Amino acid sequence: MTPRPSFEFRAAVPRLLVSVRDGAEAEAACAAGAALVDGKDPHRGALGALDPEVVRAMVARLAGRAITSAVAGEPDGPDALATSVATLAATGVDYVKVAVQPDFTGAALARAASAARGRLIAVLFAEVGIDPDLVARLAAAGFVGAMIDTAGKDGRRLTDWLEPPALQAFTTACREARLLSGLAGSLRLEDIPALAPLGATYLGFRGGLCEDGDRTRRLDPGLVAGAARALRALARRDAA
């Protein structure tokens, strides 16, 4: 496993996270400019876990050319968290992402974090809302990041559920807690100008970068490259 990168928590412009379903898509996303390549199965809901062997092959294929993550699914309650996380952590992926509910206890969160020490990112669902205390609890438990996504993939996007001020409050809380932060949820290229200034470490895409906007179809490398260009252009503008 390659050394995990050190993120700049106060970066002016977020990096591009692209979710992929296999090694070929991972290669294409990396070549098109994705900074973080995230393994998930789009046929299994918002956080469908890939077979660990698929993730292991993805990591080997990229060979450190991009940061990698993989989702550990939506465990059936807090007792299943650590087991789900450990399975994906064993693939050698840089980061593991797992769904977390606001009522999970600190002890359950700590057990999960210890199963992927220094590598675990919580995924919170926009439909549930943002628990103002959860970010601090995640940091205390040993998580390294938190992101917001949408559980339903019915065409509604992140900003249909949460207004920009609430999203900015979330990313600010993450920075103050020294956590990576991410915003995702049926995002499209046109969402970048509105979301990029909110302070997230990365913006996450899948369906908006796929053929016909369908998250179950193949990634379109041209759209991935377009998202990467848009973020680079914002970075150049801010640096000018």
- Just list the catalytic residues: 40, 97
Alpha helices in 34-163 (DSSP H): 52-62, 81-89, 106-115, 134-141, 158-161
Distance of CA 19 to the CA centre of its chain: 8
CA distances from 122 to 12, 20, 87, 227 (A): 22, 18, 16, 24
Joined together, the tokens standing for residue 116 give 């992927």
54 near 44, Cβ under 8 Å? Answer: no
145 near 38, Cβ under 8 Å? Answer: no
